[in-house]
Amino acid sequence: MMRRLEELDRLDRVASSPEEVLWPVGRSSRNDPRAWQPGPRDRAASTKWWERHPAIGFIVVALIIGGWLAGPRVPEWVDRMFPARPALAVGEERPEPPEGSTSRILPPVVVSGVPPSTTFDFMVTQNGSAEPVTFDPCRPIRFVVRDALGAGPRGREAVTRAVAAVSAASGLSFEDAGDTDEAPARDRALYQPDRYGESWAPVLIAWSNPAEEPELAGRTAGLGGGRPLRDTHGRMTYVSGTVWLDTPSLAPDLTTPEGFIRVQAVIMHELSHVLGAGHVQDSRELMAEENSGRTDFGIGDRYALSQLGRGACVPGL
């Protein structure tokens, strides 16, 4: 296990660029504008509102520009006037936003002080800032487990305990959505209504092997990454992710107490990648690129996860 933990993953994130995972493609929209034809009343009222009220239009544009110049974040009043929505292309679908997602589920985790920058890192940040891309803390992160290779109940227990540890460190709520037969894939669709209903596809934790995912060959025990989506305000938010676990190398260790803890640590490491934590060079951290045997979060890990749990609520996604 020491050798396998030396390189927990060589794939920091599933996609090479957040720009490439804005939305699943190849689906017809429930609200395809080509399927709607305006009636007589709609044609009569087709004059744009800013053409009818140019002064109001000028004021709104000026306020938006002024607010944007004041800082990179979209001002709160703009959020209220123009709620963020997924940046959709014509013909693409999205799930209906759930109700009651305007306040966080769990309290934020408070970590005193800022540790050295060498002890933590974020995989993706918002454009033009050091602010990390995060999940929405105001809705649970649903996850499913695929066990087609025999990790068994002990493997499921290791996942459950790892999820609980990551939730406690981040202040993000996780929801166990059960088991699945979905195979992991790098081009996994973010929206699968036939399989998971009207919501984003849950985080997939898959017990896999090198035949299914060649990156698991050699000393790599697991892979993990989150899937961000850009909204109409230009901000990115994680909505799903995938964890691959190398069953042949990890399952035998589930039979002993010490091995179980090490497997749990691998899952914690990969789930932290899903949330947005990156590799560090400090061997005292669980997120170290080369792990020397640590099985719990270090100071830098906990700081990173606490920050990744402090994202903005995005009820429109």
Does the pLDDT value for residue 161 go beyond 90?
A: yes
Mean pLDDT for the chain overall? 79
Tokens of 53: 């009220």
**Contact indicator for 210, 217 with CB cutoff of 8 Å:** yes
* In the chain, % of residues over pLDDT 90: 62
Residue 49 within a domain: no
pLDDT at 85: 57
In a domain, 202, yes or no: yes
**What's the pLDDT tens digit per position in 173-224?**
999 999 999 999 999 999 999 999 999 999 999 999 999 999 999 999 999 9
User: Can you state the percent helix, strand and coil of the chain, rounding each to 5?
Assistant: 35, 15, 50
Give the pTM: 0.75
Domain-located, residue 74: no
Q: Are 204 and 270 a contacting pair, CB within 8 Å?
A: no
Domain membership of residue 158 (yes or no) is yes
More confident residue, 68 or 243: 243
- Asked if residue 231 has pLDDT above 50, the reply is yes
224: CATH: 3.40.390.10
Does pLDDT of 26 surpass 90?
A: no
pLDDT, tens only, 85-140: 555 544 556 666 555 478 999 999 999 999 999 999 999 999 989 999 999 999 99
The single residue listed with the structure tokens 């499921």 is 156
Q: State the sign of the Cα–Cα–Cα–Cα dihedral 68, 135, 219, 289.
A: positive
Q: Do the beta carbons of residue 277 and residue 112 sit within 8 Å?
A: no
Domain interval for residue 200: 2-13+93-308
Would the pLDDT of 33 be above 50? Answer: no
Model confidence at 307: pLDDT above 70: yes
The Cα–Cα gap between 9 and 298 comes to 18
Look up residue 67 and give its DSSP letter.
H
In the structure, what pLDDT confidence band is assigned to residue 274 with cuts at 50, 70 and 90?
very high
| Mean pLDDT value of segment 268-282 | 97
Instruction: Answer yes or no: is pLDDT of 40 > 60.
Output: no
pLDDT bin (cut points 50, 70, 90) of residue 23 is: very low
Per the domain annotation, does 69 fall within a domain?
no
Mean pLDDT, to the nearest integer, of 145-165?
97
Predicted local confidence at residue 205, as pLDDT: 99
Residue 290 identity = E
Average pLDDT over residues 235-263: 97
The whole-number pLDDT of residue 67 equals 44
59 assigned to some structural domain: no
Residue 159, in any domain of the structure = yes
Question: How many domains does one find in the chain?
Answer: 1
Would 209 be classed as within a structural domain?
yes
Check residues 55 and 30 and name the one with the higher pLDDT. Answer: 55
Query: What is the gyration radius of the CA atoms in the chain, in angstroms?
Result: 22
Tens digit of each residue's pLDDT (9 = 90 or more) over 54-92:
454 444 444 444 444 444 454 444 444 345 555 554 455
pLDDT of residue 52: 45
